[in-house]
């Protein structure tokens, strides 16, 4: 379901070989709330209900799964309808942007509107290395065809939920949606991602009350400014035996 068969040619300097391989599948998903259009996103064609729930949570439209009366996909899984218990839903005035731009909200507006996380959460660099190994293990679709991002929700002791999607932000939304569906708290947990840490990624982590965001690759400058103001720890370039801690290192280093 997440991959499609697609032949391709491997070309080397001295040879050409045709391979019966595969590629990552991508589809369009339209999300409706109380019959009104909320967003249309490009995503992987699975876990669409989790994606819709996570997006609603991370956009501040719902606070818990108890706010949802019914969620249902159409036959082709290209539309998810979410019906809330409250009938007075109004779509956001702004367009929901899912490409890492914080939905058009300025840095100043974010830091003023969202207070810093108040948490005593601490862990160790050894835990970061162990959970990054768990992220790599969870990347099943990536190991099959590449071209897909993986996200992992974990605590100090173990991985809790994983998600894969062509979009790194979608993968994080799917994590939140799965947590809502399974009744798993995200507070004082950590997120690991295979993709770049953008300001939107940090904003989603703030809503999930997650103080530690970890990636195999780089954060953006705006992401670090937000994380620094919100007392969140950003770790990037986690490789075998090394990592870069960009903000609030006291959470990992005694």
Active site residue 101: yes
HEC-encoded secondary structure of the chain: CCEEEEEEEEEECCEEEEEEEEEECCEEEEEEECCEEEEEEEECCCCHHHHHHHHHHHCCCCCCHHHEEEEEECCCCCEEEEEECCCCCCCCCCCCCCCCCHHHCCHHHHHHHCCCCCCCCCCCHHHHHHHHHHHHHHCHHHHHHCCCEEEEEECCCCEEEEEEECCHHHHHHHHHHHHHHHCCCCCCCEEEECCCECHHHHHHHHHCCCCEEEECCCECHHHHHHHHHCCCEEEEEEECCEEEECCCHHHCCC
Q: Which residues pair with 151 in a beta bridge?
A: 163, 193
Identified catalytic residue from 101, 104, 124, 250: 101
Question: Distance between CA 56 and CA 51 in Å, rounded?
Answer: 9
Q: Give the residue numbers annotated as catalytic, written as ranges.
A: 101
């Amino acid at each position: 379901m997440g991959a499609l068969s697609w032949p391709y040619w491997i070309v080397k300097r001295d040879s050409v070989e045709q391979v019966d391989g595969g590629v990552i599948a991508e589809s369009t998903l339209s999300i409706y709330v109380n019959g009104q259009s909320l967003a249309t996103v490009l995503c992987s064609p699975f876990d669409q209900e989790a994606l819709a729930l996570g997006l609603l949570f991370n956009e501040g439209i719902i606070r818990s799964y108890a706010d949802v009366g019914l969620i249902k996909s159409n036959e082709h899984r290209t539309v998810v309808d979410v019906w809330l218990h409250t009938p007075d839903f109004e779509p956001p005035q702004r367009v929901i942007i899912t490409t890492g731009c914080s939905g058009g909200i300025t840095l100043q507006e974010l830091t003023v509107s969202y207070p810093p996380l108040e948490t005593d959460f601490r862990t160790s660099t050894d835990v970061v290395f162990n959970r990054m190994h768990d992220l790599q293990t969870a990347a099943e679709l990536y190991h099959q065809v590449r071209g897909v991002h993986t996200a992992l929700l974990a605590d100090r002791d173990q991985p809790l939920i994983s998600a894969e999607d062509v979009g790194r932000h979608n993968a994080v939304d799917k994590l939140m949606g799965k947590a809502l569906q399974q009744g798993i708290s995200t507070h004082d947990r950590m997120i690991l991602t295979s993709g770049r840490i953008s300001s939107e990624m940090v904003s989603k982590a703030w809503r999930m009350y997650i103080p530690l965001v970890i990636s195999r690759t780089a954060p953006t400058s705006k992401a670090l400014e937000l994380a620094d103001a919100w007392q969140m720890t950003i770790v990037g370039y986690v490789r075998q035996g090394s990592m870069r801690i960009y903000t609030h290192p006291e959470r990992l280093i005694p």
